[in-house]
Chains A and B, each alone.
Chain A
Amino acid sequence: MKNLWNIFKKGLIAENPIFVLALSLCPALATTSTAVNGFTMGLCVLFVITCNNTVVSIIKNFVNPKVRVPVYITCIATIVTVVELVMQAYAPLLYKQLGIYLSLVVVFAIILARAETFASKNPVIPSFFDGLGMGCGFTLALVIIGMIRELFGSGTIFGIHVFGASYNPALIMILPPGGFILIGYLVAVVKVYNQHMEKIKMKQLEKANGGEA
């Protein structure tokens, strides 16, 4: 049980797909001009990555290693098409806003990377949790970026006014340059945090070793 929690947890911060692995950056910028868009995109990716990890880990023994990548891509593309059709039917407005980026979930490096490095080598249940963890880390990153951009760019969070009517929105945050610069700083923050945690771990290890000696 603890093992599964560890598999799930590492996707959140230590191996966060966006800030640390720097995979799938397109959606992190393109769909985060508001928090709601980022959240929706995150949920879509969460769904696709979890389903795909499960499917890949079930079929891994029947697939010839030489053709594995095309097979994985077909799986991903099928799941994405399902998501697309469902969104089109039940949330046409969001579907329109996410636009082409929803179809592009197919080629997000993070999904193929998890299938290749984790799901194709592990049993079904750990693969499921790995997908869940990575998907949640992805959603978390997208919501954080979306919230900050929305807060400064239009003075709202999830559509609720925060600063009052007198706030003069900094339009640049919603435009592309603001997104790039913000992610640059967020990458630095996560890097410092991870280094800090590593240092604490090292110190604990040293203490434990010292105690034994």
Chain B
Amino acid sequence: MAAYFTLFISAVVVNNYVLTRFLGLCIFFGVSKNLNASVGMGMAVTSVITMSSILAWVVYHFVLIPFNLTFLKTVVFVLLIASFVQLLETVIKKQAPALYNMWGIYLLLIATNCIVLAVPILNADSNFNFLQSVVNAIGSGLGFAMAIILMASLREKLRLADVPKPLEGLGVAFILAGMLALAFLGFSGMISI
């Protein structure tokens, strides 16, 4: 039990996927202009990562390993995730229009995204068992959500600040992310895995 808890904490803060492994930066900078959108995005990413990790684990362990096709995992995972997200979008649109209005538009954005593909690949590379994969997926999703919500709150405050002209927009956003990463550096070494 303690091992799973360690894994979870490590995925959320110590090895935060956005700020220490640089994954999912495109949406991290693209969506964090707005706090509400960031909350929606965080939720969408967490659920998609978790579900696609489960799917990828099943396919990897019951199809790719028995047939000795592990070198195809990149192709298979990418197609699996893209088609799964497309399916999810169609189902939600039909079954839960309210939910679709809330975060439907983010779904397609994350269909081909680094963080969503990276978690299943890392799970496969580190030979995680089923439960470990799920815990790692939920942790990394929540870590992403935390980072993007923090970033969005900071950027909303920043709107009032007087930023030098060339740094406006993307430039200052990067520097802000650097400061956040600096803060997260404080967690490193807390858990060694």
Contacts and interface: CB of A to CB of B under 8 A. Distances in A.
B23 A26 contact: yes
Given A22-B29, A107-B114, A185-B171, A74 B79 contact: yes
Interface stretch (A34-42, A55-63, A75-83, A128-136): A75-83
B21 interface: yes
Contacts of A172: 182
A181 B182 CA distance: 10
A103 B185 contact: no
Given A70-B79, A188-B166, A104 B174 contact: no
Contacts of A162: none
B181 A77 contact: no
Contact of B74 (A23, A80, A175): A80
A74 B72 CA distance: 11
Interface stretch (B3-11, B31-39, B49-57, B115-123): B115-123
B117 to A, nearest CB: 5
Contact of B78 (A106, A179, A180): A106
B78 A25 contact: no
Contacts of B29: 22, 25
Nearest to A69: B82
A84 B112 contact: no
Interface string B78-108: 1100110000000000000000000000000
Nearest to A180: B178
A188 B167 contact: yes
Given A26-B22, A103-B121, A107-B112, A181 B174 contact: yes
A177 B25 contact: no
Interface residues of B, number: 42
A94 interface: no
Contacts of A184: 167, 170-175, 177-178
A188 B122 CA distance: 34
A58 B75 CA distance: 21
Contact of B112 (A81, A112, A185): A112
Contacts, number: 120
Contacts of A107: 78, 112-114, 116-117
B169 to A, nearest CB: 8
A81 B171 contact: no
Interface residues of A, number: 41
B125 interface: yes
A40 B184 CA distance: 28
A56 to B, nearest CB: 15
Nearest to B25: A25
Interface string A162-189: 0000000000100111111101110111
B183 to A, nearest CB: 9
B82 A81 contact: no
Nearest to B24: A26
Contacts of A183: 174
A147 to B, nearest CB: 18
A106 B78 CA distance: 8
Of all A-B residue pairs in the complex, the 8 with the closest CB atoms, nearest first, are: A184-B174, A180-B178, A181-B178, A184-B175, A188-B166, A25-B25, A77-B75, A188-B171
Interface of A: 22-26, 29-30, 69-70, 73-74, 77-78, 80-81, 84-85, 100, 103-104, 106-109, 112, 172, 175-181, 183-185, 187-189, 191-192
